[in-house]
């Protein structure tokens, strides 16, 4: 029903429960998924069926959650003047977005954001860059600090059940 990469782009943080699901816009039918650093949006012509979906494609029974207004975010970034990227984008983020968008795309960089739009306009992706300096923090799912590392790769060796962020 949607590009399978959406199912792999969900937040692990307990602070963002709406980002645990794939969201379908009930006006346009667009699907959106975010891990809080990458946002993927796909309009593949599917009519609006359910607002919330589990990553396996089943309808999620969810109450009381609101999905972030990603339309405003995309519009805001696309209207910003182009500039040099401020921050660091991980190779794995770039690979995921390019696999989702496809080989032919438009790129708009402004500050810490890169906005990718597929040539046909049906897929959009935003990468929010990490700060350039600082330690990498390993956090539990409630975002409590477990440890700090000099590189992302060192933090990643601890496993997939953690959140990795730059120290603020």
Q: What does the alpha-carbon distance between residue 36 and residue 33 come to, in Å, rounded to a whole number? A: 9
pLDDT per residue over 102-119, tens digit each?
A: 999 999 999 999 999 999
Tens digits of residue pLDDT in 4-24: 999 999 999 999 999 999 999
Domains of the chain, residue spans: 4-128, 136-166
CA 143 to chain centre: 17
Widest Cα–Cα separation across the chain: 46
> What pLDDT score was predicted for residue 144?
95
d(CA 92, CA 129): 12
Q: With respect to CATH, is domain 4-128 assigned 3.10.150.10?
A: yes
Taken in order 9, 6, 90, 70, the sign of the CA dihedral is: negative
At 53-109, the pLDDT tens digits run 999 999 999 999 999 899 899 999 999 999 999 999 999 999 999 999 999 999 999
Dump pLDDT digits (tens) for 124-168: 999 999 999 899 999 999 999 999 999 999 999 998 889 999 986
């Amino acid at each position: 029903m949607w590009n399978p990469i959406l199912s792999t782009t969900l937040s692990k943080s307990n602070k963002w429960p709406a980002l645990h699901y794939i969201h379908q816009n009930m006006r346009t039918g667009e699907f959106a998924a975010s891990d809080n650093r990458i946002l993927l949006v796909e309009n593949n012509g599917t009519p609006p069926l359910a607002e919330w979906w589990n990553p396996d494609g089943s309808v999620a029974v969810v109450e009381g959650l609101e999905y972030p207004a990603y339309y405003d975010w995309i519009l805001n970034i696309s209207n910003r003047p182009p500039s040099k990227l401020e921050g660091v984008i991980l190779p794995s983020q770039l690979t995921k977005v390019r696999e989702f968008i496809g080989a032919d795309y438009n790129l708009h960089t402004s500050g810490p954001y890169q906005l990718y739009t597929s040539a046909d306009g049906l897929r959009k992706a935003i990468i929010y860059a990490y700060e350039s300096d600082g330690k990498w923090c390993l956090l539990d799912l409630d975002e409590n600090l477990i440890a700090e590392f000099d590189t992302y790769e060192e933090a990643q060796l601890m496993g997939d059940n953690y959140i990795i962020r730059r120290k603020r």
